[in-house]
Amino acid sequence: MASADTVVSGRSHQSPRRHHNRWIQLTIGIICMGLVANLQYAWTLFVVPMDAKHHWGQAAIQTAFTIFIVTETWLVPVEGWLVDKFGPRPVVIGGSICAAIGWVIDAHATSLIHLYIAAVVAGVGAGCVYGTCVGTALKWFPDKRGLAAGLTAAGFGAGAAVTVIPISNMIQSSGYESAFMFFGIFQGVCIFVLALMLVRPKPPANIVPAKRVVSTKIDYTTAQMVRSPLFWVLYAMFVCVAAGGVIATAQFGPIAKEYGFAKMPVTLLGVTLPLLAMTLSIDNMCNGFTRPLCGFISDKIGRENTMFIIFLGEGVALLGLMQFGHNPYMFMLFAAMTFLCWGEIFSIFPATCADTFGSKYAAANAGTLYTAKGTASMLVPLASVLASLGSWNTVFIVCAITSIAAGLCAKFVLAPMRKRWIENTVTQTAANEQSINASLQTGSVQ
């Protein structure tokens, strides 16, 4: 009988280990991220058709995009807290339902109010999925945080590349309402099914962090984190770099239309598409590719060194768009470079946050830092206003300067601040251990 119990017990322990493999959990998170990506990255395809039908004005329609980004990002700390408390499964299930409902409302919207309500609902859904998947990846992989966060964020960056062409084709053939309806329900159902397989992170024991990455040994709560000046340096840098990419994401459609080549046929590798659709596909692939690549590089050479190189690259790419963007092929090239140097913020910043403030509250902490994307999104309508008053050159110059400034800040401000922070945590941990040992020794003597 004891033998049978032992066998049953052995099976019950082996099965969960197979199902809870951290690479399998990471893969599920990546797929969920890809499915929810269209809520942001395919939005620009709907702006012009909606304006053509309802004449609401592109600036008013883009306000819905801002509402979506703000809702998606600023609620992530709450969603991260729910993940830390209840686990990833219920949060992602809720996100799948909201993601589907958001686009269904968009499909039937007859006023801007409907559009804005849909943006809130879809933003909640995207935030639930994004915050959960990134937060749990940081917990599963304390030894490869840059790579894990990068692969997860790559799903969000590159996921839309697979479906942006079908969505564009459906808009052309059946109308934007059908595209909203079909892809909204399809994405929501797929995420719901995948969410059922998510489990609480249980990383293997005795994991050693990457050699070039300095990590804290203390787990800081979100309240403790936001009281640190170091957090606000990270936050300001995130806003500066995110602004350029968020503006580009929302405005590439209108920019290409204004420049007169949005529908120009372009052939690449035997595939012919309108220039805007081809550009968006390439951009999304670059956006996804750079996240695991730069996350992996940051595990090897350090977070701040990677930030310095890539943030300067984004500034150069934006200046290239300003100088050469009126040429359709240069527009495609520098747009791709912009995304190649922008998307990595969604792997490096969460990894840096977990390195600095610990793993235990990583979902809530990384979610709080992620709200910087929402802050950056508030500049999207401002960019449209600046463009209408002057030209897109002003927008590109401002975004380039802020990105370059963030790169310099990473090297000469953030790096020494984080070094001092980690050294202080090591000292504090050693003092705590000495205090505990002294107490134990006193107790044994008594």
Map 318-371 to HEC letters.
HHHHHHHCCCHHHHHHHHHHHHHHHCCHHHHHHHHHHHHHCCCCHHHHHHHHHH
- 2 confidence band (pLDDT: 50, 70, 90): very low
Residue 212 has what pLDDT? 61
pLDDT tens by residue, 12-44: 444 445 557 889 999 999 999 999 988 888 888
pLDDT tens by residue, 156-176: 866 777 788 888 889 989 999
Residue 360 has what pLDDT? 86
- Are 243 and 345 a contacting pair, CB within 8 Å? no
The one-letter amino acid at 243: A
Residue 394 has what pLDDT? 80
Residue 196 has what pLDDT? 94
Q: How far apart are CA 343 and CA 194, in angstroms?
A: 25
Q: Over the chain, what is the mean pLDDT?
A: 84
CATH code of 15-200+209-431, in short, is: 1.20.1250.20
Tell me whether residue 431 is exposed, middle or buried, using C-beta atoms within 10 angstroms of its C-beta: 0 to 12, 13 to 18, 19 or more: exposed
Evaluate if residue 393 carries a pLDDT over 90. no
Evaluate if residue 5 carries a pLDDT over 90. no
Average pLDDT over residues 51-69: 88
Quote the pTM value. 0.76
pLDDT tens by residue, 302-346: 999 999 999 999 999 989 988 888 888 898 999 899 888 988 898
Percent of the chain whose pLDDT exceeds 70: 86
Q: How far apart are CA 41 and CA 183, in angstroms?
A: 13
- 429 confidence band (pLDDT: 50, 70, 90): low
Domains of the chain, by residue range, sit at 15-200+209-431
pLDDT tens by residue, 112-135: 999 999 999 999 999 999 989 999
The better pLDDT of the pair 394, 195 is held by: 195
What contacts 174, CB < 8 A, 6 or more positions away?
none
Residue keyed to tokens 């490096």: 348
